[in-house]
Amino acid sequence: MDRGTTEGALLIELGGRSVEYRFARRRRRTLGITVDAAGLRVAAPLRAPWREIEAFLRDKERWILRKLDEWAATPRGAALAGVSGETLPLFGAPYVLEVGKGRRGVEARDGRLVVTVPQRSRPLDVLIAWLKHEALQALRPRVGHYAAVLNVRAPRVTLSNARTQWGVCSADGAIRLSWRLVHLDAALADYVVAHEVAHLVEMNHSRRFWALLEQLYPGWREARERLELANATLPLLKGKR
């Protein structure tokens, strides 16, 4: 990419490694970097000089390389067919599917998820309906807990099918959480809940919001990083909407 352009792919030497990154200039005041499943991305102010951009990346060298290695070592979630022998996480622990015919139902026991379905029913539909129920049963009390800490009324809680947006707090004070949080360990799902409950008081990402989140969930920074990695590993289950 010609350095005179505003967007594209570039290379930089970091720690003896040639690292490719996506670059863009934006109307912003500070330099920003992101490392996720798509690699390294850099956003710079419109007039930031290249020496400043490259110095910033070299200053963050150890962090960038560590995050790139973490993402490279993270197994990607597979699409599940809903057959016996497949594995999926439930509240952070791995469970093996056992699928059979019978009365509709799901039971978790001894590291197994036993799914029974009537003839001509899709096991994934039965499984996802059960996972959604379990998610709501687990998440709703946690929303109430954090709302009580802030001395605000517990909001209405519903579920979404979102895979990348874990939660939303609407302007009318309702909270919508992804049912896929049921895959995560409770402490990590709690971060998402605390984040959205904090929005009941601060409907923004101002300093006041982050201070409030710190009060509710002191380990939010680490949890946010863990959540990004966990998202890439979650299985893909597609049932009827």
Q: What is the DSSP string of 51-78?
A: HHHHHHHHHTHHHHHHHHHHHHHSPPPP
Which of 51, 73, 95 terminates a domain? The answer is 73
- Is residue 116 scored above 50 in pLDDT? yes
Domain assignment present for residue 51? The answer is yes
Is the Cβ–Cβ distance between 12 and 32 less than 8 Å? no
Q: What is the DSSP string of 188-230?
A: HHHHHHHHHHHTTT-SS-SHHHHHHHHHH-TTHHHHHHHHHHH
Do residue 60 and residue 101 come from a single domain?
A: no
Instruction: Find the mean pLDDT for residues 186-193.
Output: 95
Which of 46, 73, 100 terminates a domain? The answer is 73
- Is residue 119 scored above 50 in pLDDT? yes
Confidence (pLDDT) at 2: 47
Do residue 103 and residue 191 come from a single domain?
A: yes
Confidence (pLDDT) at 171: 87
Domain assignment present for residue 48? The answer is yes
Do residue 16 and residue 91 come from a single domain?
A: no
Structure token digits, residue 60? 């963050």
Q: What is the pTM of this model?
A: 0.73
Tens of pLDDT along 195-221?
999 999 999 999 999 999 999 999 999
Poorest-pLDDT segment among 39-53, 68-82, 148-162: 68-82
Residue of 232, 231, 235 lying closest to 79 (CA atoms): 235
Instruction: Find the mean pLDDT for residues 175-195.
Output: 95
Is the Cβ–Cβ distance between 142 and 189 less than 8 Å? yes
Domain assignment present for residue 216? The answer is yes
Collapsing DSSP states into helix, strand and coil, what is residue 15? coil
18 band by pLDDT with thresholds 50, 70 and 90: confident
Instruction: Give backbone dihedrals phi and psi of 96, rounded to 5 degrees, phi first.
Output: -100, 135
If one counts the domains in the chain, the total is 2
Is the Cβ–Cβ distance between 141 and 155 less than 8 Å? no
Is the Cβ–Cβ distance between 115 and 123 less than 8 Å? yes
Q: CATH no. for residue 152?
A: 3.30.2010.10
238 band by pLDDT with thresholds 50, 70 and 90: low
Contact partners, residue 136, CB within 8 Å, separation at least 6? 157, 159, 179
- Residue predicted with more confidence, 72 or 188: 188
Is the Cβ–Cβ distance between 127 and 95 less than 8 Å? no
Domain assignment present for residue 113? The answer is yes
What's the rounded Cα separation, in Å, for the pair 134 and 169?
A: 21
Domain assignment present for residue 79? The answer is no
Domain assignment present for residue 82? The answer is no
Is the Cβ–Cβ distance between 200 and 45 less than 8 Å? no
- Is residue 77 scored above 70 in pLDDT? no
Do residue 201 and residue 119 come from a single domain?
A: yes
Q: Is 154 left (phi over 0), alpha (psi -120 to 50) or beta?
A: beta
Structural domain harbouring 32:
7-73
Do residue 57 and residue 138 come from a single domain?
A: no
Domain assignment present for residue 241? The answer is no
